Structure 1
Amino acid sequence: MAHRDANRRAAYWRHVRRLTGLLLALWLGVTFAVIFFARELAGLTLFGWSVSFYLAAQGAILIYLAIVGFYALRMRRLDARFGEDSHGG
């Protein structure tokens, strides 16, 4: 029984680490892309503002909020799937 619990806990943390790594890579990609491509994006306009300004001021923040929301939703599903208690132990 203890072996089964150890396997479930290991699988749970493997999923958590994979999800966290993927979302951190997305966060880094969004942050890097906005900065790296700012000059190219400055030539494009969206609602009267340059796209680089829009992404830096609004778009990236909305993507970050979407990442946090997706993480919370996915973690809730993982906790339910693996029977983890979100309050510890």
Structure 2
Amino acid sequence: MAFENQQQASAYWRENIRLVLGLLTIWFAVSFGCGILLVDWLNEFRFFGFKLGFWFAQQGAIYVFVVLIFVYARLSSRLDIKYNVQED
């Protein structure tokens, strides 16, 4: 990976860190918010026969994490193309 100049490298990493922090915020909101803070309210609803809060705590947060991995891979690839540092 070779950047044309230091300014381009700084801009790339600034966008990459912003992307990572955004995705981690989503993961935190789902795992902590839905699995712990909002569990009592979510348990009033059912999902595939399970209480929704329980489902988020046991499986939902994991599914969201796996989806976020694919989202990061796609957005990171686009970022690489934008700054012309993609692998061929």
The normalised TM-score by structure 1 is: 0.81
In structure 1, the gaps of 5 or more residues are: none
Partner of 1:72: 73
Deviation digits for residues 37-88 of structure 1, max 9, x if unmatched?
11122222122211112212222211111111110111111112112256xx
In structure 2, the gaps of 5 or more residues are: none
Q: How does 1:1-89 map to 2 (within 5 A)?
A: 5-33=5-33, 34-84=35-85
Could you tell me which amino acid in structure 2 is paired with residue 72 of structure 1?
Answer: A
2:66 and 2:80 map into 1 onto residues whose CA distance is: 21
* Structure with greater contact order relative to length (CA < 8 Å, sep ≥ 6): 2
2:48 and 2:67 map into 1 onto residues whose CA distance is: 22
Structure number with larger C-alpha Rg:
1
1:19 Cα deviation (Å)?
0.5
Number of equivalences: 83
Q: Which structure is higher in helix share?
A: 1
Q: Is the 8 A contact 2:31 2:56 kept in 1?
A: no
- Cα root mean square deviation, aligned: 1.6
Could you tell me which amino acid in structure 1 is paired with residue 67 of structure 2?
Answer: A
